[in-house]
Structure 1
Amino acid sequence: MSQDSRAQFAAQNRSALDWLSFFLADVKDGVGPFLAIYLTSTLKWDSGSAGLVLTIAGLASVLGRGPAGAFVDAIRWKRALIAIGAGAVALGSVAMAISPGFWTVAIAQVLIGLAEAVLPLTLTAISLGIVGQRGFPRRVGRNEAWSHSGNVVTAILAGAAGYFIAQVAMLWTVAIVSVIAACAVYWIDGRAIDHDLARGEDKPGQAPEALGVLLSNRPLLWFTAAITLFHFANAAMLPLAGQKLSVGQPDESPLFMSSCVVVAQLVMVPMALLVGRKANEWGRKPLFLVAFAVLPLRGLLFALADNPWAIVAIQILDGIGAGIFGALFYIVIADFTRGTGRFNVTQGVAAACWGLGAAMSNAVAGQIVNGFGFSAAFFFLAACALGAFAIFALAVPESLGYEAEGPEAQVLAVT
């Protein structure tokens, strides 16, 4: 298909992709921070038990992401897959609201975790299949900006529902948004999706390369290691901050958590747009280094902060880091896999690795809180974040201009 035709398809489906990203925001990101507050403040679970059920969702997502990526590469009914995943989140949220026992919550978290494995991969594949490699950075930036805007709206609604109605209303809010997302995916014209392009092929009729080729890509492997440690350090910070906020003031904690989410998401919107517009001009690595640098600082500040509004203000750093990370992750994976036909399985495996880090983060940090307190947990997470920064800075090269040369070696093109 010509570049002009591809640009026309992209323009025709721009609003559909925008609104799908908006409604899919809290569906694909799960209900972790709000669920942690609900379990600890309303149901009186301890931090270890709450961390365990959050870990279950993370592990389900980890186990599902690799196969989900291969599945997305293979199928042509990607819109239906998004509708199924959003429906699973709605079902899990309703189940937790109606019957919040340990096993009900655990099973619901499995459903939500599997949906989290499928939804981001599929949305990204659809986007690449519509706009192509040339338009991908800007499209990903728009996806993330609309996603963060959706998170702001849902966080406000969930926080208000939790405060003025009951904390369980937060789960009902996510369920309703999930149903809307399942319908919104069909605003996209299915004929606009080039399914070969959506898996990273850039030549008509090209056969996907062997998966073993990806294992020889050292920059990709180091990148995966860095983002895994990054998410191990990051995932537990906001849930722990929510639990810290709920100590002594359980009724106000939903509003404080909503404020934390809103502040971060508002900052993420311009960060994602910045990445989409400047990643090709400035390069990927300088932008990514900023995301890695703010995380250890955030952990240290959380450890020292006791005032609820100080904790909310610290979330500005989360907005900077996560806003950059959310967009650049997909762009860098697309750089490393261009022409291989293995884009989705690679992003699935890489996401599974950092998902494992995120899943273990909640369990480990919860146990540290039980034994040594919140400050010790935040100091530990900050140290891990500093390690992630070091790995990325020293071992991961600039991916702009990356080319795969031959099946036995991966090198950076000299540009």
Structure 2
Amino acid sequence: MQTTSQTGLTDHSLVALAFLNFFLADARDGLGPFLDGFLATHGWSPMTLGIIATLGGVLGMVATPLFGAWVDASRRKRMLIIIPVILVTAAALWTLASPGNASVFGGQSATAIVGAIVGPALMGLTLGLVGERRFSHQVSRNEFWNHLGNVVSLAGIYAATVAFGLNGVIGLMVLTAIAAVLAALAIDPNRINHDVARGLAHDDGAPGPSGYSVLVGSRGLILLAVTLMIFHFGNAPISRLIAQDFSIQLGTPFRTTAVTTGVSQLSMIAMALAAPFLIRRFGLAAVFVIALLALPIRGAIAGSFTDFTAIFPVQILDGIGAGLIGIATPIAAERILAGTGRFNVGLAAVMTVQGIGASLSNIVAGWLTNIGGYGLAYWVHGGIALLAVAVFVIGRDSIAPSQKNGMDAAVDR
């Protein structure tokens, strides 16, 4: 059996994992947050952009649980990251070269489908490398390097567009994709424990559940999925709308989006550093509550102020909310599913349900913007998060159980 960090994982693989997360920040999503600003300045309407985002979300939602099961079964987890990175980068370059219906709808559809495997594959790879005991801490480290990579990438894109225009963006995308591939290849495959990677650190010998039975058979997982579905319905479109709004106002889509997204990413770095302490000191449930409450405040501020300076508190709150949720979700899923052997498919099922909220929100946000402007959309989507808070409070003990064997206190050691 392969060993994990608990029995001598080399620093080499952990360093490679850090670099992988750093470069995946830019390589896994293609144009990512820049798509809306770029297309908005090419005449695409908020409603059409909402339809594109919804289409991508639905396709990713369908693909994610299948890919989660694939990650559980696969012993080539590095390749499940490398191949999507190459395909996503190719689709993004196609869109930049020719932003027409075929490239935008076709490219974003392909990005959504192949990109859906990266999240489960990265979580499975992480769990297989470090083991259950170190998983919470390593997820926080992954998020730190991912958000740091985002900040560096955003700064690089800002500078590249000033110096070289669109060609600078293309060059950076190619370089980060190559770097992500090399980082994945640098991880020692013999150090990945594939049983631990699927949640069998405490296997009792009984066959684990399969497919969606993991989701429907667990009250905690159902409530986690519903909480995240509501949260992402509220949160998903706000940054997109901000990028559209100010890109049109200022006429600089890449630089404007780099600034707005950079603020949230810096906030997420702070959350990644703080999360281990917060979980140890206050518990996983408290971290969820902080994250969920950040969204209604964010929506109220965005809906009340129209000056560009308002993006700073709005995007800082995005880093607090989405940043902490991104760390807390896989930790909660691992605790709920420990011993089932279906960690990745269970996490993928949760991501699929949250994807329903995120996907539907985009078209609703486009409709709200058309009838009442950006301010109405901010107020409505921010307010929706209060329902997520209510669901979490009802099921908090099931959604965020204490770590088995009383290891919460070891989360940051």
- Normalised by the size of structure 2, how large is the TM-score? 0.91
How big is each residue's C-alpha offset from its partner over 1:364-409, in whole Å with a ceiling of 9 and x where there is no partner? 1012111221111111101211211221122232633367xxxxxx
Q: 3-state SS of the aligned residue for 2:358?
A: helix
Deviation of 1:254 (Å): 2.8
**1:14-52 Cα shifts (integer Å, max 9, x gaps):** 2111111100113334533211011011x1111111222
Query: Are 2:224 and 1:223 equivalent residues in the alignment?
Result: yes
> Judging changes above 3 Å, is the alpha-carbon distance between structure 1 residues 213 and 91 closer, same or farther for their aligned structure 2 residues?
closer
Match of 2:264 in 1: 264
- d(CA) in 1 for partners of 2:346, 2:243: 33
Cα distance change on mapping 1:4 and 1:49 into 2, 3 Å: closer
| Distance change in 2, residues 1:4/1:21 (3 Å) | closer
In structure 1, what residue type is equivalent to 2:218?
A: N
Q: Residues 370, 210 of structure 1: CA spacing in aligned structure 2 closer, same or farther, 3 A cutoff?
A: same
CA displacement at 1:160 relative to structure 2: 3.1
Q: In structure 1, what is the Cα distance between the partners aligned to 2:272 and 2:295?
A: 17
The match for 2:410 is: none
Local SS of the residue matching 2:400:
coil
Compute the displacement of 1:223 (Å). Answer: 1.1
How far does residue 334 in structure 1 lie from its aligned partner after superposition?
Answer: 0.2
The equivalent of 1:39 in structure 2 is: 39
Alignment partner, residue 411 of structure 1? none
How far does residue 271 in structure 1 lie from its aligned partner after superposition? 0.9
**Alpha-carbon spacing, 1:259–1:191, altered in 2? closer, same or farther (3 Å):** same
| Contact kept? 2:37, 2:248, Cα under 8 Å | no
Residues 61-101 of structure 1, C-alpha deviation per residue, up to 9 Å, x if partnerless?
11111000000000101111110010111111111112211
Counterparts of 1:7 and 1:257 in 2: how far apart (Å)?
44
Distance 1:341 1:262 in 2: 37
Distance in 2, Cα, partners of 1:29 & 1:391: 30
Query: Partner amino acid for 1:125?
Result: G
**Gap change, CA 1:175 and 1:364, over 3 Å in 2:** farther
Q: State the alpha-carbon separation in 1 of the partners of residues 280 and 401 from structure 2.
A: 7
Kindly provide the amino acid, as one letter, of the partner of residue 120 in structure 1: G
Kept in 2, the 8 Å contact 1:34–1:170? The answer is no
1:75-114 to structure 2, matched below 5 A, reads: 75-114=74-113
Determine if the alignment matches structure 1 residue 390 to structure 2 residue 403: no
Extract unaligned runs of 5+ from structure 1: 404-415
Identity among equivalent positions (%) equals: 33
Deviations 1:278-314 (A, max 9, x none): 4244311001100000011101111112111221342
Question: Aligned to 2:249, what secondary structure does the other structure show?
Answer: coil
Q: Aligned equivalents of 1:39 and 1:361: distance in 2? A: 19
TM-score, length basis structure 1: 0.91
SS in 2 for 1:400: coil
Q: Which residue of 2 aligns with 1:312?
A: 312
Matched ranges for 1:262-301 at <5 A: 262-301=262-301
| Correspondence for 1:355 | 355
Q: Counterpart of 2:140?
A: 141
After TM superposition, give the deviation of residue 125 of structure 1 in Å: 0.5
| Distance in 2, Cα, partners of 1:137 & 1:15 | 17
Change (3 A) 1:371 1:282: same
The residue type paired with residue 225 of structure 2 is: T
1:320 Cα shift? 1.1
The residue that corresponds to 2:237 in the other structure is 236
Q: Alpha carbons of 1:242 and 1:348: their partners in 2 closer, same or farther (altered >3 Å)?
A: same
Q: Which moved more, 1:242-251 or 1:383-392?
A: 242-251
CA distance in 2, matches of 1:168, 1:310: 31
* Distance across 1 between alignment mates of 2:45 and 2:199: 45
In structure 2, the residue matched to 1:413 is: none
Partner of 1:337: 337
- Counterparts of 2:390 and 2:204, CA distance in 1: 41
Instruction: Work out the CA distance in 2 between the residues paired with 1:277 and 1:125.
Output: 24
Alpha-carbon deviation of 1:53? 1.5
Whether the 8 Å contact between 1:260 and 1:313 is mirrored in structure 2 is no
Gaps of 5+ in 2: 405-413
C-alpha separation in 2, matches of 1:171 and 1:68? 29
Map of 2:22 onto structure 1 = 22
Provide the rounded CA distance (Å) in 2 between the counterparts of 1:278 and 1:191. Answer: 33
Distance 1:80 1:3, change over 3 A: closer
2:70 counterpart of 1:71: yes
Q: Give how far 1:11 is off.
A: 3.6
Evaluate the alpha carbon distance shift between residue 379 and residue 246 of structure 1 in structure 2; reply closer, same or farther with a 3 A threshold. Answer: same
The residue that corresponds to 2:409 in the other structure is none
* Residues in 1 aligned to 2:32 and 2:361: alpha-carbon distance in whole angstroms: 13
Q: SS in structure 2 opposite 1:339?
A: coil
Distance in 2 (CA, whole Å) between partners of 1:32 and 1:11 is 31
Residue identity matched to 1:15: V
Give me the whole-angstrom Cα distance separating, in 1, the residues matched to 2:269 and 2:26: 15
* Range that drifts further, 197-206 or 89-98: 197-206
Contact 2:147 2:268 in 1 (8 A): yes
Distance in 1 (CA, whole Å) between partners of 2:4 and 2:164 is: 51
User: C-alpha root-mean-square deviation of aligned residues, in Å?
Assistant: 2.1
Contact kept? 1:6, 1:131, Cα under 8 Å: yes
Contact 1:30 1:116 (C-alpha < 8 Å) held by counterparts: no
Deviation string, structure 1 residues 240-280 (Cα, Å, up to 9, x no partner): 011111233213x4323211111111111121122234424
1:250 to 2:255 alignment: no
Task: Please tell me whether the aligned partners of residues 4 and 130 of structure 2 are also in contact (alpha carbons under 8 angstroms).
Answer: no
SS for the counterpart of 2:128 is helix
CA contact (8 A) 2:94 2:103 kept: yes
How many angstroms does 1:2 deviate by? Answer: 10
The corresponding residue for 1:55 is 54
Using the TM superposition, give the Cα deviation of residue 105 of structure 1 relative to its aligned residue in structure 2, in angstroms.
1.0
Residue deviations 1:198-246, cap 9 Å, x none?
0000246845412335423112111110101101111100010111112
For 1:77, what is the secondary structure of its paired residue?
A: coil
Corresponding residue of 1:325: 325
